[in-house]
Amino acid sequence: MSVLPILYSFRRCPYAIRARLALAVAQQPYQLHEVLLRDKPAALLAASPKGTVPVLVLPEGRVLDQSLDIMCWALQRHDPQQWLSPPGATLADMWAWVAQCDGAFKQALDRCKYPQRLPENDPAQARADASEWLLTLETRLADSAYLCGTQAALADVAIFPFVRQFAAIDPPWWHAQPWPHLQRWLQQWLETALFADTMRKHPLAPNPLL
Ligand SMILES: N[C@@H](CCC(=O)N[C@@H](CS)C(=O)NCC(=O)O)C(=O)O
């Protein structure tokens, strides 16, 4: 068994991105196993039969197969930027934002991204549904630099990979929206060294990281 935790990950998956960001900021070493979602390794399915990524297998055998659990595990070990406890917000405040992202927004995002996959999907309605929540973020970010105040926190990091995915569906449309604060917030995250590191390409074979 590995002495380091093993992270099964897929580079572009927003859930995996949020997990990798938290592991990186928390300076937790791990071994990265980049996987193909259409050809999942048996070891991943043995650790977590539901077959989604990210999955973190700890050296003692414990398996974390939810991205938010991986974020919390990493940040509870080391949280140098106070992502779990930003001034002026509680964990409950942050979970509320993340629940909106992972719930209704993610559904609308998938309907925008894969318009043909769902029967009777109306892409215009999907975009309108997604935009409704993005406007909530825009309103919030007009008042404060980050979702939970003046400091970046778990809510921002958990959510921006999904907004990134939405923005990438139709970049000219995204840039034409009257959402300057949201656009700035996303752009700022995309330009961080942390994000660049997290998005480095890795071969499919296991790769020691950090
Ligand atoms: N609730 C899970 C969701 C993870 C998830 O759905 N990941 C997608 C990739 S973005 C996945 O692995 N899907 C399985 C597949 O496409 O086969 C989490 O937060 O980790």
* DSSP labels, the chain: --SS-EEEE-TT-HHHHHHHHHHHHTT--EEEEE-BTTB--HHHHHH-TT--S-EEE-TTS-EE-SHHHHHHHHHHH--TT-SSS-TT--HHHHHHHHHHIIIIIHHHHHHHHSTTTSTT--HHHHHHHHHHHHHHHHHHHHHSSBTTBSS--HHHHHHHHHHHHHHHH-HHHHHHSS-HHHHHHHHHHHTSHHHHHHT----SS-EEE-
Residue 136 tokens read as: 């909530």
**Position 185 confidence tier, pLDDT thresholds 50, 70, 90:** very high
- CA of 53 relative to ligand 1 center, distance in Å: 5
pLDDT reported for residue 191: 98
- Phi/psi region, residue 88 (left: phi>0; alpha: psi -120 to 50; beta: rest), is left
Angstrom distance (rounded) from CA 186 to CA 163: 7
Please report the atom of ligand 1 found closest to the CA of residue 52: 12
pTM of the model: 0.95
Separation of CA 9 and ligand 1 centre (Å)? 10
Delimit the CATH 1.20.1050.10 region(s) of the chain: 91-194
> What is the rounded average pLDDT of the residues 137-158?
97
Question: Is residue 208 over pLDDT 80?
Answer: no
Ligand 1 centroid vs 87 CA: distance in angstroms? Answer: 31
Give the mutation target among 44, 53, 101 for probing the ligand 1 site: most ligand atoms within 8 A of CB. 53
Q: Which amino acid residue places its CA nearest to atom 1 of ligand 1?
A: 66
6-81, CATH topology level = Glutaredoxin (3.40.30)
Q: Does the CA dihedral 148-154-157-159 come out positive or negative?
A: negative
Tell me the CA–centroid distance for residue 150 and ligand 1, in Å. 31
Q: Is 171 exposed, middle or buried (0-12, 13-18, 19+ CB in 10 A)?
A: exposed
Whose alpha carbon is nearest atom 11 of ligand 1?
Answer: 52
Q: Are 8 and 64 in contact (CB under 8 A)?
A: no
Q: Residue 207's pLDDT is what?
A: 56
Instruction: Return the residue whose CA atom lies nearest to atom 6 of ligand 1.
Output: 52
What are the pocket residues of ligand 1 if the criterion is a CB atom closer than 6 Å to any ligand atom? 10, 13, 15, 37, 51-54, 66-68
**pLDDT of res. 50:** 97
Q: What is the pLDDT of residue 120?
A: 84
**Half-sphere exposure in the Cβ direction for 16 (13 Å, CA):** 22
What band does 205 get if pLDDT is binned at 50, 70 and 90? low
Q: What is the CA(27)–ligand 1 centre distance, in A? A: 24
Q: What is the pLDDT of residue 203?
A: 82
Which residues of the chain form CATH 3.40.30.10?
6-81
Q: What is the pLDDT of residue 39?
A: 94
Cα–Cα nearest to 30, from 3, 1, 61, 5: 5
How many Å apart are CA 70 and CA 51, to the nearest integer? 16
pLDDT band at 204 (very low <50, low <70, confident <90, very high): confident
Torsion of CA 164, 169, 175, 177, to 10 degrees: -100
**pLDDT, tens digit, for every residue of 63-111?**
999 999 999 999 999 999 999 999 989 999 999 999 999 999 999 999 9
Checking if the pLDDT of 209 tops 70, the result is: no
Architecture of domain 91-194: Up-down Bundle (1.20)
| Ligand 1 atom showing the smallest separation from residue 14 Cα | 10
Q: Of 209, 197, 126, nearest to 166 (Cα)?
A: 126
Rounded to the nearest angstrom, the distance between the alpha carbon of 54 and the centre of ligand 1 is 7
Q: What is the pLDDT of residue 94?
A: 97
pLDDT band at 206 (very low <50, low <70, confident <90, very high): low
User: How much of the chain exceeds pLDDT 70, in percent?
Assistant: 97
In the predicted model, what is the mean pLDDT of the chain?
95
Using pLDDT thresholds of 50, 70 and 90, give the confidence band for residue 117: confident
